[in-house]
Structure 1
């Protein structure tokens, strides 16, 4: 899909009033706003899938009409639109809302933190969901995790990275708590929605940009401007996608429709997360073989420096004056540290064994 098709389609949508949900013969229509260009591979497609599935699973009793980024509200305004009740729900990522509370960031991603599967385990079996509910209730929003893009990439850079000195002063598009880590490392962090990244990189307004990973980065066309594609994206070892529902709208639903939304979220997490794992390597191969992208590993000394900064941020949040932020940070860190040793033995042990000089396949 061409970048201009994805981004340009937003302008073709007709604006609509979002003040109240539509009601017709006992049927409810919700309006969803998103932070993504319409049908952007990965999150844009996942948002539409979410809207469609709620309608399908409810037998049409609850339908969702999707409005892509900028069609009704700008991406940065999606959370506030839902909190205020001018939209019924949004599809986005928690990292976009950390200005409201840094504790929100843990539910989406944390630098050097948990993978998608670890974080989902924390949410479902480690108390994360209860704290997620408590945090979002402050703003009149009911949240559900509906997918994860998996380990992200550090992104496309015009110039090579050889040391931390190359990073200082770099105008870098990123977001969330990982963005705060890079800011402290010396980068000039710029927050931009997906539809504005290409133009900023092309014009030289920014020097580098990370968005998701190969599957979603390829259609944005960033490789046309910058050929150095760096991994690992330690700023986001996982990146949860979520829906946030206006609390009044949520409370007004009958119990069976609440169950529909809840189970839609669970099924979407499984489908969306696994799709990223399948599509990322295919897209990466295309970036390299068809577009001449140079895949490069971030130097080890830079990774150590970034990791130490991430540790400083975590320590600050574990001592935060807001008791809820402190509880979230403590719970996240304890779950991650408990999981870390086992993951090295189990998943990492098996991944490393694949690199041995064996004949297989």
Structure 2
């Protein structure tokens, strides 16, 4: 697809104007060191996601012995949390760190590189991305917008959400004011929910004031840090919308191509290393955090089978609705093939083993 043609059809949306108000990018070489400005979708210090930013930045500096430095900005410091894509695509910032499904209005295929409803788990995504063509497809989507993408973080399976009242049937989503980005949010809309996309820094206030009835964020650790247990007591650990959610680093393509090959590789390697490190960080912290939440009076629930059936039907309808776009269909087919290949083996090996271990030894 011709990038110029795509953009003139309004792909950048209303946030492009905000991005153009920025100063020129900080991409510059001085005293033998190159500094890139990175905008992000995360407030500074936000548990898990800001850790991913810091690890990536530090890894690039370490790998290059300080010859490539990245100046990371929190959400709102240069652009708003959801404006980072436009800033990097237009050349007003050098890089971003975000979840690419925030930008499905640019191209719906970007959702696959964070998470899609009823999609890949974190291990399945790792297999597809690094061994079955996912990385190359990420780059192909980015070329439309003059961007270069790499997944650089992973939250693992995300919780189904925090609710003021339990969900007893799919009908309970009718009119529910719910925060959920990406294609998962679109699926929830088909169940009658009033879906909102809010950045992480705005969720607590919206839930506390009643602007939201329910929300999802990430998982017990990040959600506890955000304080969601203070304003909603019913928590669903399993969700349909993000079975394994990746975070991304994205460079302006002209900036990336202007770097030395060693600096390009530093970005690629730091992103890949950050992906696995971030996954382990979330998983290591979620169990203890859930114990603390339960001790504080949070009640956990699981959605009933009929609710899961409704999630599945709505998700399939959303995904099918985008398949008229050839690139979306190409990525979707690749994801399905990768998921089938990985899950086919893992269900007979990993999953069977864990089930038997639990039966024999308990949860330990």
Which residue number corresponds to residue 345 of structure 1? 348
Summarize the alignment of residues 320-331 of structure 1 with structure 2, pairs less than 5 Å apart: 320=324, 322-331=325-334
Cα deviation, 1:186-218, whole Å, max 9, x if unaligned, reads 111011001110110000011000011112111
| Shift in Å, 1:357 | 5.4
Residue 284 of structure 2 aligns to a residue whose secondary structure is helix
Question: What is the match of residue 5 of structure 1?
Answer: none
- Whether contact under 8 Å (1:58, 1:257) holds in the other structure is yes
Q: TM-score when scaled to structure 1?
A: 0.92
Aligned twin of 1:307: 312
Match of 1:73 among 64, 73, 79: 79
- Superposition deviation, residue 224 in structure 1: 0.3
CA distance change for structure 1 residues 357 and 272 in 2, over 3 Å: closer, same or farther?
Answer: same
CA contact (8 A) 1:150 1:277 kept: yes
Judge which range, 63-72 or 307-316, deviates more. 307-316
- Gap regions ≥5 residues in structure 2: 1-21
Is residue 38–residue 45 contact of structure 1 (8 Å, CA) maintained in 2?
no
TM-score, normalised relative to structure 2: 0.91
Corresponding residue for residue 193 of structure 2: 187
In the alignment, which residue of structure 2 is the partner of 1:37? 43
Partner of 2:358: 355
Give the direction of change, closer, same or farther, for the CA distance of 1:330–1:82 in structure 2 (3 Å limit).
same
Deviation, 1:360, is 8.1
Q: Give distance in 2, aligned partners of 1:220 and 1:159.
A: 20
Query: How far apart, in 2, do the equivalents of 1:359 and 1:34 lie?
Result: 42
Aligned mates of 2:66, 2:128 — CA distance in 1: 33
CA RMSD of aligned residues (A): 1.7
**Counterpart check, 1:112 vs 2:115:** no
Q: Equivalent residue for 2:29?
A: 23
Residue 293 of structure 1, aligned match among 289, 294, 298? 298
Task: Note the alpha carbon deviations across 1:287-320, whole angstroms, 9 max, x for none.
Answer: 111x211111111110111112212223333x32
Separation in 1, partners of 2:258, 2:288: 43
How far apart are 1:67 and its partner, in Å? Answer: 0.6
| Equivalent runs, 1:182-221 vs 2, <5 Å | 182-221=188-227
Q: Distance in 1 between matches of 2:291 and 2:216?
A: 18
Distance of 1:217 and 1:138 partners within structure 2: 35
| 8 Å Cα contact 1:18-1:31 kept in structure 2 | no
| Superposition deviation, residue 18 in structure 1 | 5.0
Unaligned runs of 5+ in 1: 1-15
Kept after mapping to 1: 8 A contact 2:117/2:243:
yes
Q: 1:229 maps to which residue?
A: 235
3-state SS of 1:306 partner:
helix
Aligned residues: 344
Structure 2: how far apart are the matches of 1:257 and 1:71? 26
Aligned to 2:58: 52
- Match in the other structure for 1:8: none
| Bigger shift: residues 232-241 or 332-341 | 332-341
